[in-house]
């Protein structure tokens, strides 16, 4: 999404998008990464904490990285209390975000189905539903007939390769239009006085006496009181510039869309057993994605066999899709921690903050992540919701192993 995208509404001060940094200028906060989380952080720094002397730096164009490559799913039906708290906070913010930003986000609470294909899937799903209910999160267990009622095009016949034995269902979950979300947040941040500086890649971090003092960029140095890293897939590289390592691995993550179709798919369906998920966009495209590629890479493309296997599984579950044509495919870069949960909090360098390791969960967390990250930056201490996601959990052993607990990607 470029600022010159046809039909996109520019912020009120487009010069802020292109202005060269002033070497004599020092910002209170510099946010590295102009995607959904970076823009949400800038918005909530201004809205919740009155901090507007902020620059958001983006090496390409605003929200042109993973924000432009996600598949728009929003849900909060995680198993562990730490994850549920953060994602449920995000979902509640999603439910009021259009009014907050004064911008249409095409937020659609069409529900999310997680299919179960084995007895173990059923046990895991029922366990997660009961945990969600105890935590105040809406969740239901559906048998195969109820799955068919929610999504009539799913094949529930017993002879298929992936028999549907039921599924979990979160009615409040759904989707939002990712580029609208980015522009809504960007407009709000810009209106508050935040500088949005595009085509400005960070090439170094200035650290003196154990404290960050600014960043070096392709458009000159920028001094800063605080620096917030918010660059999906590349935060480990930025941390290396400050002299420390992060427990992150970067992987390609692929998805695709079909040609435009009449409405046929009323909800979001996910199948972790075969690593495929499907929804239908407002314009009519089927939006499909897979699990991450197994190899490490910084390239925004993945292996062909991943897409091939994804399509085979999708056609098995939704026979009607065999008649659709692929319009385009793409890849993003996700960074993954050993426990598949994010790192949001302080770093070993004073006044340098971390927001990374979201894996496939970044988009759905967007407003919640921005809210708690802004609090962490403003107070120099984590919000209670992101306190469990600190970097030191990898030395204390207090891991938040959501992937191992719930076995649900995306």
- Residue 213, class by beta-carbon neighbours within 10 Å (0-12 exposed, 13-18 middle, 19+ buried)? middle
Count of H-run helices and E-run strands, the chain: 10, 18
Name all domains of the chain by residue range, CATH numbers in brackets.
14-70+178-247+338-406 (3.50.50.60), 112-171+249-336 (3.30.9.10)
Give the Cα separation of 193 and 34 in Å (integer): 15
DSSP, collapsed to helix, strand or coil, labels residue 386 as coil
Residue 251, pLDDT > 60, answer: yes
Contact 147, 115 (CB under 8 A): yes
Model pTM greater than 0.95? no
Residue 213, pLDDT > 80, answer: yes
Q: Which two tokens stand for residue 124?
A: 């895991």
Residue 10, pLDDT > 90, answer: no
Q: Is the dihedral of CA 267, 271, 272, 278 positive or negative?
A: negative
* pLDDT of the residue at 20: 59
Q: Band the pLDDT of 320: cuts 50, 70, 90.
A: very high
Query: What are the residues facing 289 on neighbouring strands?
Result: 255, 277
Q: Each residue of 263-272: pLDDT tens digit?
A: 999 999 999 8
Residue 9, pLDDT > 70, answer: no
Residue 392, pLDDT > 80, answer: yes
Give the Cα separation of 68 and 207 in Å (integer): 32
DSSP, collapsed to helix, strand or coil, labels residue 233 as coil
């Amino acid at each position: 999404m470029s600022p010159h995208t046809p039909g996109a509404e520019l912020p009120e001060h487009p010069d802020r998008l292109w202005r060269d940094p002033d070497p004599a200028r020092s910002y209170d906060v510099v946010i590295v990464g102009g995607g959904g989380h970076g823009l949400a952080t800038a918005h909530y720094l201004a809205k919740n904490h009155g901090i507007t002397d902020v620059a958001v730096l983006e090496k390409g164009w605003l929200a042109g990285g993973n924000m432009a490559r996600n598949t728009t799913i929003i849900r909060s039906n995680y198993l562990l209390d730490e994850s549920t708290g953060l994602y449920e906070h995000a979902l509640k913010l999603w439910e009021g975000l259009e009014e907050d930003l004064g911008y249409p986000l095409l937020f659609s609470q069409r529900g999310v189905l997680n299919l179960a294909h084995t007895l173990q899937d059923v046990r895991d799903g029922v366990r997660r539903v009961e945990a969600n209910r105890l935590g105040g999160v809406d969740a239901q267990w559906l048998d195969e007939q109820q799955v068919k009622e929610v999504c009539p095009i799913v094949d529930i016949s017993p002879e298929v390769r992936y028999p549907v034995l039921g599924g979990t269902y979160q009615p409040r979950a759904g989707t939002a239009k990712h580029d609208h979300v980015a522009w809504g947040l960007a407009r709000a941040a810009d209106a508050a006085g935040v500088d949005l500086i595009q085509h400005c890649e960070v090439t170094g971090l200035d650290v003196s006496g154990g404290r960050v003092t600014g960043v070096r960029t392709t458009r000159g140095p920028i001094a800063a009181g605080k620096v917030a890293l918010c660059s999906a897939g590349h935060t480990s590289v930025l941390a290396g510039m400050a002299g420390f390592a992060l427990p992150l691995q970067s992987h390609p993550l692929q998805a695709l869309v079909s040609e435009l179709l009449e409405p046929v798919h009323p909800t979001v369906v996910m199948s972790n057993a075969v690593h495929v998920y499907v929804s239908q966009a407002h314009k009519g495209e089927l939006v499909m994605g897979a699990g991450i590629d197994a190899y490490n890479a910084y390239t925004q493309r993945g292996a062909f066999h991943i897409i091939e296997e994804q399509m085979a599984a999708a056609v098995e579950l939704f026979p009607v899709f065999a008649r659709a044509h692929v319009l385009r495919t793409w890849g993003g870069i996700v960074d993954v921690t050993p426990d598949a949960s994010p790192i949001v909090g302080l770093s070993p360098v004073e006044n340098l903050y971390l927001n990374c390791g979201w894996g496939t969960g970044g988009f759905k967390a967007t407003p919640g992540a921005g809210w708690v990250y802004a609090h962490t930056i403003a107070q120099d201490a984590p919000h209670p919701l992101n306190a469990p996601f600190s970097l030191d959990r990898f030395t204390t052993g207090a891991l938040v192993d959501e992937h191992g607990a719930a076995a649900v990607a995306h």
